[in-house]
Homo-oligomer: A and B are copies of this chain.
Amino acid sequence: MKKHLFAGAASAALLLAGQAQAADPTPAERAINYRQGVMAVIGWNFGPMGAMVKGDRPFDKAVFARNAERVALMAPMALEGFPAGSDTGTDKFPTRAKADAWLDQDKFKELMKKMEDETARLARVAKGGDEKAMKDQFGTTAKACKACHDDFREK
């Protein structure tokens, strides 16, 4: 059992992904795993859009719009991944979230809301299909992500 627990963060995360297992993680660990999952899905979809904006890959409006829609769907799911008590992380589930996210919740929620709004706008703009507008709104959205990371996430 002990051995199981020491199998490392990756295995623990793997055990978590999908369904509960023998060595059940705590509610805080589950929240950490969840919010990192939300961010991973956002990053997976946001990355290719950034590559298109930078010209590192061909601009594909359909893919851009699909990814923008997915990011907009994911964005409102992030906040619930930061419940009270999930601030410090554990050996198995470390977190880069700063204590400030809980100490200054108003600011944290404000920046989260801003990110939600900008991703929703990005999805709308992308549906419109104006490449210049899509690129501009991508930049605005990326700034909203960064603003929160700067204040509330360890480097």
> What residues make up the interface of A, taking CB atoms closer than 8 Å to B?
8-11, 13-14, 16-20, 30, 33-34, 36-44, 46-47, 70, 73-74, 77, 81, 92-96, 145, 149, 153
Contact = CB atoms under 8 A, between A and B. Distances in A.
Contacts of A153: 18
Contacts of A70: 77
30 contacts: A8-B8, A8-B9, A9-B9, A9-B10, A9-B13, A10-B10, A10-B93, A10-B94, A11-B94, A14-B36, A14-B96, A16-B43, A17-B39, A18-B42, A18-B43, A18-B149, A19-B145, A20-B43, A20-B47, A30-B44, A33-B40, A34-B44, A36-B37, A36-B40, A37-B38, A40-B40, A41-B41, A41-B74, A44-B81, A70-B77
A145 B18 contact: yes
Nearest to A20: B47
Contacts of A33: 40
A47 B37 CA distance: 15
A34 B153 CA distance: 20
A63 to B, nearest CB: 11
B43 A19 contact: yes
Contacts of A92: 10
